[in-house]
Amino acid sequence: MESMASSNSASSTTATPSQQSSVDKDPLWKHVTKLVKMKERGGNTKIKCNFYNLEFTGSYSRVKAHLLQIKGEGVSVCPRVTADILLQLRREMTDAEERKRQVVIPLPPLSYASSDSAWGGAEMLPKQGSKRRAIDKNSPINKAFNQEVRAQVDGEIARAFYSGGLLFHFSRNPHYIKSYTLAANNNIPSYVPPCYNALRTTLLEKEREHIERLLEPIKTTWKEKGVTIVSDGWTDSQRRPLINFMVVTESGPMFLKAVNCEGEYKDKFYISSLIKKVIMQVGPQKVGGDRFDPLDGAEELEISSLSLDEPEFEVMFLQDD
């Protein structure tokens, strides 16, 4: 991403609040340089690409067409934008679209914050005729426990649940609780939660690697004790027919994969081909068990089509009940 870094450094100038707001909404502006000041109310401007030093006249739509390599928009595509840079630019566009869709609900004034309210410090107006007085936010107790900020944090978390349609039961998730505890107990200036793209790409891949490491001790016992391959079919919420494959050992079951069988005729030949692939994935020398259960009336050996004449499966050990 050297070209990406050079692009950012080339366009790094002290931005006014209005310019920064424009970049937040249209992130590709930071990869070009405006040579002529844009008119206050729209209009075109002379622009230079920070990757290729190409100069052209237009608006943000042409900047987007140039950098994202969209043809037919009246500007040539940038030849210096590689596949990796293009992916990063698209991620910036996606993040900007996500920010535009976010609705910020401002909190009411905190002058009447009450520590014993249902929010655990939420805003609360005193009832007419009530003798309860408003909490003084400058009181020593309020300052010591930072109740004003606590009320704001509680309100933002609650609004995340309500606006995102999260189940209340999610508040009991230990990882959800631990994330806030870690953030509160450690000095992490300017920390923000992971964005949409990070959750679905890099962090997802890291979590998969983490799970693989946790499962490694179980996998080491497969060759010594053998495994039994089991499967079951189901339909997910999108009405897709799926077949799950798992391995079962003395240490317990382990999920391997799910196969989308949409458009396939699930006869014994198709099922046997899936089973063969799973056996080769696990390793034939590790697979054993009592027998293969019949499926759709197929016989035990027909369902798997595992002839003992096939060399790759000769190492499997099967036994009758």
Is the pLDDT at 16 greater than 60? The verdict is no
Tell me the C-alpha distance between 35 and 55, whole Å: 9
Q: What is the model's pLDDT at position 273?
A: 87
Backbone phi, psi, residue 105, to 5°: -100, 110
User: 190 lies in a domain?
Assistant: no
Q: Kindly state the average pLDDT of the residues 210-221.
A: 87
Q: What is the model's pLDDT at position 134?
A: 55
Mean residue pLDDT across the chain: 75
Q: What is the model's pLDDT at position 263?
A: 86
Same domain, 226 and 293: yes
Q: pLDDT of 36-47, one tens digit each?
A: 765 555 567 888
Same domain, 271 and 298: yes
Q: What is the model's pLDDT at position 270?
A: 87
- Provide, rounded to the nearest whole percent, the portion of the chain with pLDDT above 90: 16
Is the pLDDT at 13 greater than 70? The verdict is no
Q: What is the model's pLDDT at position 103?
A: 60
User: 170 lies in a domain?
Assistant: yes
Non-local CB neighbours of 30 within 8 Å, separated by 6+ positions: 7, 8, 11, 23
User: 115 lies in a domain?
Assistant: yes
Same domain, 173 and 228: no
Q: What is the model's pLDDT at position 203?
A: 94
Is the pLDDT at 303 greater than 50? The verdict is no
Cβ 121 vs Cβ 108: under 8 Å: no
Non-local CB neighbours of 213 within 8 Å, separated by 6+ positions: none
Q: What is the model's pLDDT at position 201?
A: 92
pTM: 0.48
Q: Which of 74, 101, 128 represents a domain boundary (last residue)?
A: 101
User: 232 lies in a domain?
Assistant: yes
CB atoms inside a 10 Å sphere around CB 56: 18
Same domain, 83 and 133: no
Q: Kindly state the average pLDDT of the residues 225-233.
A: 85
Same domain, 144 and 63: no
Tell me the C-alpha distance between 240 and 4, whole Å: 40
Is the pLDDT at 158 greater than 60? The verdict is yes
Same domain, 231 and 301: yes
Q: Kindly state the average pLDDT of the residues 3-8.
A: 55
Non-local CB neighbours of 281 within 8 Å, separated by 6+ positions: 256
Lowest mean pLDDT among 39-48, 54-63, 245-254, 273-282: 39-48
Beta bridge partners of 246: 230, 255
Q: Which of 101, 123, 138 represents a domain boundary (last residue)?
A: 101
User: 177 lies in a domain?
Assistant: yes
Q: pLDDT of 279-299, one tens digit each?
A: 888 887 777 654 444 444 433
Backbone phi, psi, residue 235, to 5°: -120, 130
128 vs 86 pLDDT, higher one: 86
Q: How far is CA 50 from CA 10, 43, 85, in A?
A: 6, 21, 13
User: 205 lies in a domain?
Assistant: no
User: 74 lies in a domain?
Assistant: yes
Same domain, 77 and 156: no
State which residues form the domain around 298. Answer: 218-318
Q: What is the model's pLDDT at position 48?
A: 87
Q: What is the model's pLDDT at position 176?
A: 94
Beta bridge partners of 227: 287
Q: How confident is the model at residue 202 (pLDDT cuts 50, 70, 90)?
A: very high
Same domain, 298 and 232: yes
Tell me the C-alpha distance between 244 and 315, whole Å: 24
Q: What is the model's pLDDT at position 123?
A: 45
Q: Kindly state the average pLDDT of the residues 171-184.
A: 93
- Provide, rounded to the nearest whole percent, the portion of the chain with pLDDT above 70: 66
How many alpha carbons fall within 13 Å on the CB side of residue 78?
27
21 vs 220 pLDDT, higher one: 220
User: 204 lies in a domain?
Assistant: no
Same domain, 313 and 222: yes
In the chain, the number of structural domains is: 3
Is the pLDDT at 249 greater than 90? The verdict is no
Q: Which of 70, 101, 132 represents a domain boundary (last residue)?
A: 101
Same domain, 114 and 81: no
211 vs 26 pLDDT, higher one: 211
Same domain, 9 and 82: yes
Same domain, 170 and 235: no
